[in-house]
Amino acid sequence: MISRACGDSNKHNRCGKGPIFAQIRQAIPLAKSLLFCPDMCYLIIVSRPKGQDSISATKNHLEPIPLGACLDGKYHVQSLLGRGSMGLVYLATDASLQREVAIKVLLPRYAADERVAKRFRLEAVSMAAVRAENVVQIFAFGDYEGHPYFVMEYVPGYTVGNLIENANNHGEQLYLDVVIGILKQVCRGLEAVHARGIVHRDIKPANMLIGPRFRVAITDFGLVETIRSSAERDLAGTPLYLAPEIIRRQEISAELRFSSDIYALGISSYEMLTGQVPFDGESIKEILRRHLKEDPKPLSDFRSDLPPGVQDVVLHALSKEPGDRPRLGMDFIDALVAARDAASGAPYQRLGGPRVLIVDDDPETRTIFRTAIKVGFPDTSVVEATDGVQGLDLAKTTKPDLMFVDLNMPGMNGLELVASLRADESTHEMELVVVSSNLDTEACRLLGSLGVTTFLAKPVELSQLVDVVRSALKRR
């Protein structure tokens, strides 16, 4: 993604040569040399090891651990998951505990740089210091034939960055409830990180992993600092998410150190809601200047369905001065939820017996389901929705005991509706049954990762429908 920041994706810029890096050095005169990762993960000032005039890119350097290798007598390396700017991530099996893990290894050419190697160890130590559901966990640190590595939790799934990219590719925008569901978990993770006196410094959608049952976890602690570290801050991070005080290399008090993460959280929220970052440009220098000098465009320029209060909360997090932003991530998300709820009215108060919600655009299917449920379970209330958006609203207001979701609806389809429900705390545990005339393997796999275990194929047999309802109401 370097082309997004640089406006130039040619091979010279990718390998650290060419005009874009001259602009960076002009913008940052203190840099002895610069590392800029090919996927635009980091802009970081480093010192190249003595005697190393160029960066080697041999296969040996790119793959420091061979597939099939066994680390520490129990971690069996299975495959390569991804390549970053300074290392690789492998999928491995922990033979002792019979689980999959991820192993991150530092590339040799950077292991030779004392500062980079120190950061790599600090990343492991920082991750190990935080124990929270919404932070990727670390299990071990080691060395394989001179290649430092650490073993961490493997989170199968995708990143929030992938989610945004997919929406953009389809000309769509993420629903507000999905975004809030993601941000609630990110903010809980940040709260745990900050409680340990750690500033993440690289909060962005690409570092937010979405795993099974829509669990979101923060990863990549490669640029962390502690509030006990020097007040002078390195210019390190992803340019699109850098806070103004970091760009200015501003000395700030310990209590305001976390504010740079809040700014990055605001940028990420803006990107989730609009599909683009507020400060982009043809060069790194231009991006940094815009962070410092320009105000972001209102969210209402990109979509008209957001409550005005939501825009105010996001822009508040993007204040130029660290002291003007929300102090904590939970302050930010609480304000965002309040803005949404203020626009939708007071929450529904649940009364009466069991309730079933049917979400299907086909009136005949709704009639069949409603009739069967009312005949078989007379005390049960049946609520109906004709599309995914209406279904999402009714799920949050009526709190059904069981919800039938048609997979192939226009607009918000069944998969998107399920993801939205799992992303919201108020509907996260709701029992769902997906109904479709075309249940393919991939859809079942994705829905399974979101906790859906019951599927009905159209045309639905009434006896099967009644059995599903009976089982669900017994668990009520």
CB-facing half-sphere around the CA of 322: CA atoms within 13 A: 22
What residue type is 75 in one-letter code?
Y
C-alpha to C-alpha distance for 389 and 391, rounded to whole angstroms: 5
- Could you tell me the two tokens for 172? 């769509």
C-alpha to C-alpha distance for 454 and 470, rounded to whole angstroms: 13
- Could you tell me the two tokens for 61? 């350097």
In angstroms, how far is CA 406 from the centroid of its own chain? Answer: 27
- Could you tell me the two tokens for 290? 């815009």
In angstroms, how far is CA 300 from the centroid of its own chain? Answer: 23
Q: How far is CA 420 from CA 86, 204, 266, 339, 429, in A?
A: 35, 20, 21, 18, 12
Hey, which residues does 435 pair with through a beta bridge?
Answer: 406, 456
Contacts of 96 (CB under 8 A, 6+ apart): 74
Q: How far is CA 347 from CA 4, 241, 334, 396, in A?
A: 42, 35, 16, 8
Hey, which residues does 103 pair with through a beta bridge?
Answer: 90, 151
Torsion 124-81-86-28 (CA) sign = negative
Looking at 94, 113, 177, 202, which residue is catalytic?
A: 202
| Runs of H (alpha helix) within 242-362 | 244-247, 259-274, 284-293, 308-317, 329-344
In angstroms, how far is CA 390 from the centroid of its own chain? Answer: 26
CA geometry: angle at 27 spanning 54 and 46, to 5°?
35
**301 carries an active-site annotation:** no
Closest by CA to 391, choosing from 364, 409, 373, is: 409
Contacts of 16 (CB under 8 A, 6+ apart): 34, 35, 36, 55
C-alpha to C-alpha distance for 203 and 264, rounded to whole angstroms: 6
Hey, which residues does 209 pair with through a beta bridge?
Answer: 159, 217
Torsion region of 375: left, alpha or beta (phi above 0 gives left; psi -120 to 50 gives alpha): alpha
Catalytic residues: 202
